[in-house]
Amino acid sequence: MSVSSIVPEHLLRQALTTLETKRRDIQNIIAKVEAALADERKPLARARRRMTRAERQAVSQRMRKYWAQRRRKAS
């Protein structure tokens, strides 16, 4: 026994139209949720590693040497 023999065809068509509309709505909601989840999965920027005191001093020495050379070339 099929559904069409129990329920009139116009009611089946109405039901089908309603269900298709609901399916589109649900698919839109699913797409929005997936997009929101995709945004959350993006890798976060890595935290910058702090320089130790020795590293800062080494950079300072290199920059002093660099600027001293620049001043010598300019004069």
* pLDDT the model gives residue 3: 67
CA 57 to CA 51: how far, in whole Å? 10
User: Distances from the Cα of 56 to the Cαs of 1, 30, 60, in angstroms?
Assistant: 84, 51, 6
Question: Residues for the chain: how many in total?
Answer: 75
Q: What is the pTM of this model?
A: 0.46
Confidence of residue 6 (pLDDT cuts 50, 70, 90): confident
Residues 21-75 pLDDT 10s:
999 999 999 999 988 888 776 666 778 889 999 999 999 999 999 999 999 998 8
* pLDDT the model gives residue 75: 82
Residue that the structure tokens 């910058």 belong to = 48
* pLDDT the model gives residue 4: 66
* pLDDT the model gives residue 47: 81
